[in-house]
Copies of this chain bind each other. A is one copy, B any other.
Amino acid sequence: MAMEALRSLAALIDHFHETARWAGTLALLEWDERTGMPSGGAEQRAQQISDLSVLIHRRRVDRCVIDWLDELQEAESRGSLRDAIPAGSLSRIREDHEKAVRLPESLVGALAKATTMGQRSWGEAKERKDCTSFLPVLAEIVELKKEEADLRRVEGMSRYGALLDLFEEGADAEQLGKLFYRLQSYWSGKIDHLAEATKERPRRWSTVEVGIERQRALNHWIANHIGFDFQRGRLDETSHPFCTTLGPHDHRILTRYDRNDWTSGFYSTLHEAGHGIYEQGLATRWHGLPAGSATSLGIHESLSRFWENVIGRSEGFWRGVFPEMRDWLPPEFQSANPGDLALEVNRVEPSCIRVEADETTYNLHIALRMELESKLIEGSLRVEDLPAAWNEAYARYLGVTPAHDGEGVLQDIHWSAGLFGYFPTYALGNLIAAQWLEAMESSLGPMEKILEKQEFGLLVEWFRNHVFPKGRCLTSSQLVEEVTGKPIQPFAWNGYLEKKWAEPLKSFRG
């Protein structure tokens, strides 16, 4: 490679590494905001986040990036960059630049500020279980997001599609809507039946009171056990669990605790650890560049939902971990057996809360959110009518009605953070997780056997070999196709659930 191209490439990579460091600082400002920043700090924090978002935006739209890319074009077309930077990186960087320049700095700053204050306002409203004070704040965020969507959308893309593209590049909003509708039709009749079967088995173990200190130790243990590296990460507490990356070797997962249901924090830890294991498995050398970034949110959720559900709710998992795990729980668990626990964490109960929903009803929570958020963004639903629309949708999709806004429209932080178009990635994650399972079993053998031996390292290694290396150099559908030989589709998921529910569904069909 020519000296000049080498210099341009080094400059380009340095630029992205530095941008990633600023992004890591931004992530810390947000992490701190959600782990215990004094309430008095809110206003300044919003301003700090806005300042830094603008700085990062400036680096993303920096004309230098295009100049370097142009200087590299010839070398790339000759194929002489092949060993210097992973294939697909440069075209991704060019696309990202094209997308970023569409947004004016003023909008970036305004969005950062509005969503930081929005999350705080949401938190306060949720505490009060009343969304009145939050709605005008949300209305402002929706207006800004509409503005953003209008600037981002290209030919043939809906406003909502332009926001979905932020999390799942290349996904088609309309097709996704249809996919979710098919899933809903397929499962809605069966759900009633499974819920009936669940009612016959009252809760026994998840309701045993477990002290917070004990839960902390348990969750630390399980996250570490499945492969989350605490030399490069930590586990904290917050009101709405998440995972965030502060640097190539600093990944933080957050959970929450409920004295009266230890499984809630346990499963959100498994979920966030799944995200964390993904982030910790990305190529640190390319941190901040496409090859070192997560493919998409859908792929991210496929990892989190995989560990939370496909693994964490399987009987093999419980048979494997429980003999050891018992010692982290109160003494009465000595008389529990893995089979009972596996059954109990697989209750099918249409309910109001997404994050506590079972796997089978979960996608309905997503489909209804997608319906509502696309209407908000397209303008056919006003924010002031959202609470009523929420309750109506819950009755329609799941046959339940929230007792108050706290377990209704205020349950999720996403919209207050400006995350419209994010929810569908959870359901996509479910489908993809089942596709990973299928592919894994065909090369590693039956999962139950692996889990009984607690060989979690095998699974992490499989992901490291197949899913993590390409980063964002592929889209999610390209990656899934490459790894599983099939496009993203619901068959593996339906098969996975049907296998799980073979017994109760037999009587349903018969």
Contact = CB atoms under 8 A, between A and B. Distances in A.
Contacts of A44: 21, 24, 246-250
Q: Is the interface of A mostly helix, strand, loop or mixed?
A: helix
B231 A39 contact: yes
A491 to B, nearest CB: 40
A249 B40 contact: yes
A24 B32 CA distance: 12
Interface residues of A, number: 33
B48 A249 contact: no
B234 A36 contact: yes
A189 interface: no
Interface string A30-49: 00100011111101110110
B232 A40 contact: yes
Contacts of A45: 247, 250
Contacts of A246: 41, 44
> How many copies of this chain does one complex carry?
2
Given A28-B29, A29-B28, A250 B41 contact: yes
A187 interface: no
A194 interface: no
A103 to B, nearest CB: 21
Interface string A222-256: 00000001111110000000000011111100000
A18 interface: yes
A411 interface: no
A199 to B, nearest CB: 40
Contacts of A232: 38, 40-41
A454 interface: no
B32 A48 contact: no
A183 interface: no
B32 A28 contact: yes
A36 B24 CA distance: 16
A113 to B, nearest CB: 12
B24 A231 contact: no
A41 to B, nearest CB: 3
A48 B29 contact: no
Given A24-B48, A28-B29, A51-B21, A40 B234 contact: no
Nearest to A49: B25
Contacts of A37: 234, 250
B40 A231 contact: yes
Contact of A250 (B38, B230, B247): B38
A44 B36 CA distance: 23
A41 B37 CA distance: 21
A250 to B, nearest CB: 3
Q: Ordered nearest first, which 9 A-B pairs have the shortest CB separation?
A: A40-B249, A41-B250, A44-B247, A40-B232, A21-B48, A40-B231, A41-B247, A38-B250, A38-B233
Interface of A: 18, 21-22, 24-25, 28-29, 32, 36-41, 43-45, 47-48, 51-52, 229-234, 246-251
10 contacts: A18-B51, A21-B44, A21-B48, A24-B48, A25-B25, A25-B29, A40-B249, A40-B250, A41-B250, A44-B250
